[in-house]
Amino acid sequence: MFENLSTLPEDPIDVIMEQFRQDPNTFKVDLGVGVYRDENGKSPIMKAVHLAEQKLTENAASKEYLTPAGNTDYCSLIENDLFGAGHSRSLVSVQTPGGGPALRAAADLVKRLSPNGRIWVSAPTWSHHLLVMSAARLEVLRYPYYQIGEGDIQREAMYSKFENEACAGDVILLHACCHNPTGQDLNGEDWTELARICNKKGLIPFVDVAYQGFAEGYEQDVAGLRQLLEAVPEMIVASTSSKSFGIYRERAGMLTMVSELEAEAASTLKEQLLEVTRGLYFMAADHGAALVVEILQNDKLKTLWHSELEAARNRMMTMRNFLARQLEKHLADSRYNYIAEQRGMFSIFPLNPEQISRLRQDCSVYLIPGGRINVAGLTSDNIDYVAEALTRELRI
């Protein structure tokens, strides 16, 4: 069996990580991997998480299985953080091992309920969106979102694509905030218009909430999601605590089906969803979810966590502003000033593979293919160096 295996393309992020590790240059800069880094270039454990872990260890009494739906306290708390209180929608949620499995479980459920299902994904988007949706054997279509180098959303082209080519029952994948890889987010008017189109065409929004708290604030970053909640009859939401709590390897996420179903039908939906997740992983690990529960249920830890999240957000904003100013100074024009207005960890530059290769080989500045940079990889020590290196390529 195994002798018939064919070679697959290497994952570009894995390649970049390995090249970075092997680079002997003592002044090398990783702008590729999508994790938050502090001013020292480290991806630290939050103090609130450390304290929560101590409490969990002290009070742990069992490692018994939970149900396949996972940690119900986690689901209830994250539902409240995402959707708020006072709405009348039916929410069917299960804990997942991070955001990726939430996306895959949703895609598998869509395929199960709609064998000819189609999903629209932004151009550009996180590369794993394409991988996951294709692996579920959904038909993947692209909608225009952002022209690299122009600094704004292609609104009219996006709306037109949905109006003219999307069909009833199609799913449209949207980024709640901190769009990956562009950093260019939808505004309130965009969410309103997308809700109108979804209702008119019978489309189902599927919102990926991966970076809550990294854009404008933890509550503000789900404003668009809540607009949809009030406006459309059905919605799918995949969320993760990986970034907001800095618990990447702990794999804490959630998948939620939003509907107007009555209790009995909602119970049937949950049974269908759990049958999908049991076929994928049976039960999500509990440690990460338990950490989040400990923090959100403890006022002191929650306050500390909010302050740490705000500090991370402000640092990324500072790096954005400084990079925009440095590029304006070196290029003698303001064409990339929009970087300061974008949000989250990512922005994207119009760099071809040869330019990205030169940045790596000549400057030890590491980007993934496509030109995405992680602004959290910038520090006060390296930002001038990076700006000068980028300038040399952007002038070409």
Answer for the pair 128, 98: CB distance below 8 angstroms, yes or no. Answer: no
Q: Choose the catalytic residue: 126, 161, 185, 191.
A: 126
Exposed, middle or buried by CB within 10 Å (0-12, 13-18, 19+), for 272?
middle
Cα–Cα distance for residue pair 187/223, rounded to 1 Å: 9
For the chain, residues with pLDDT lower than 50 are none
208 is catalytic: yes
CA 170 to chain centre: 21
120 is catalytic: no
Q: Which CATH code for domain 8-44+301-394?
A: 3.90.1150.10
Q: Which tokens in the block code for residue 195?
A: 């809700």
pLDDT of residue 8: 84
Q: Is 169 helix (H, G, I), strand (E, B) or coil?
A: coil
The pLDDT tens digits for 226-273 are 999 999 999 999 999 999 999 999 999 999 999 999 999 999 999 999
The pLDDT tens digits for 182-227 are 999 999 999 999 999 999 999 999 999 999 999 999 999 999 999 9
* Helices and strands in the chain: count of H runs, count of E runs: 13, 11
pLDDT of residue 207: 99
The three-point CA angle 373-379-383 to 5° equals: 70
Answer for the pair 118, 171: CB distance below 8 angstroms, yes or no. Answer: yes
pLDDT of residue 2: 87
Q: Choose the catalytic residue: 208, 221, 286, 305.
A: 208
Cα–Cα distance for residue pair 269/91, rounded to 1 Å: 10
Report domain extents, the chain.
Answer: 8-44+301-394, 54-296
CATH class of 54-296: alpha beta
Q: Choose the catalytic residue: 120, 191, 243, 286.
A: 243
381 is catalytic: no
* Phi, psi of 41, rounded to the nearest 5 degrees: 80, 15
pLDDT of residue 217: 96
Q: Is 314 helix (H, G, I), strand (E, B) or coil?
A: helix
pLDDT of residue 36: 95
* Torsion region of 78: left, alpha or beta (phi above 0 gives left; psi -120 to 50 gives alpha): alpha
Q: Is 268 helix (H, G, I), strand (E, B) or coil?
A: helix
Answer for the pair 111, 138: CB distance below 8 angstroms, yes or no. Answer: yes
pLDDT of residue 9: 84
Say if strands 118-123 and 253-259 run parallel, antiparallel, or are unpaired.
unpaired
